[in-house]
Amino acid sequence: MATDKSAHIDLADLEQTMAFGYHIGTVAQAGDVILLTGDLGAGKTTLTQAIGRGLQVAASCYITSPTFSLLHEYPGRIPLYHMDLYRLAGEEEIEELGFEEYIYGQGLTVIEWPERLGELTPRNYLEIQLISPTPETRHVTLSAHGNMCCRLKDFLEYDSLQRSTT
Ligand SMILES: Nc1ncnc2c1ncn2[C@@H]1O[C@H](COP(=O)(O)OP(=O)(O)O)[C@@H](O)[C@H]1O
Ligand SMILES: [Mg+2]
């Protein structure tokens, strides 16, 4: 699957991760899909919490990784559908969930461990890969696929961070 456009951001600390995630939440549109990749502890759930704040999900809704279900749904400016596929047994399980109704629906879908999607990976999505060179810092690569590539700049347009686009 070809990457159409990518960019890098270096986040110095948790505060910068939260600012980046908040910004994503402010520019996300209904039907957007964000795939979060990176090792355990890289910050995928933390970034999702910040995205939720940017989507105006109430602070009383604490965003945690869905452990016993594949999906949590949070009301915000648009709904946030948060999936964690770490424990996924097979693609049938995602289909049973009504996966396509979510990703082509009225909210923002954020998916941890999207590698498990296999053939269900949508055509249009933004991948955000998180790497932690140190416990505090994060190196972020954004890769826009399909019609998300014309929106990549929106996800990068905010202050106070180092970034480079290719
Ligand atoms: N710059 C940073 N960005 C994201 N998380 C950070 C950062 N610095 C420290 N952390 C910590 O790293 C941990 C990331 O955990 P989590 O978000 O659950 O990871 P994942 O969902 O990728 O397994 C959290 O405890 C968070 O507070
Ligand atoms: Mg997680």
Give the pLDDT confidence of 88-126 residue by residue, as tens digits. 888 888 888 888 888 888 999 999 999 999 889 999 999
Check residue 161 and give its pLDDT: 52
Q: In what order do the strands lie in the sheet with 108-112?
A: 71-74, 80-84, 108-112, 33-37, 125-131, 138-145, 5-11, 162-165
**Cα(127) to centroid of ligand 1, in Å?**
17
- 152 phi and psi angles, rounded to 5 deg: -55, -40
Tokens of 68: 């016993």
Q: Does domain 5-87+118-158 have CATH number 3.40.50.300?
A: yes
* Ligand 1 atom having least distance to the Cα of 42: 22
Q: Does the pLDDT of residue 147 top 80, yes or no?
A: yes
**Cα(14) to centroid of ligand 1, in Å?**
8
For a pLDDT cut of 90, what percent of the chain falls above it? 70
Q: Note the pTM of the prediction, 2 decimals.
A: 0.93
Ligand 1 lining (C-beta closer than 6 Å): 11, 13-14, 17, 38, 40-46, 112, 135-136, 138
CA-proximal residue: ligand 1, atom 3 (nearest): 14
Q: Does the pLDDT of residue 163 top 60, yes or no?
A: no
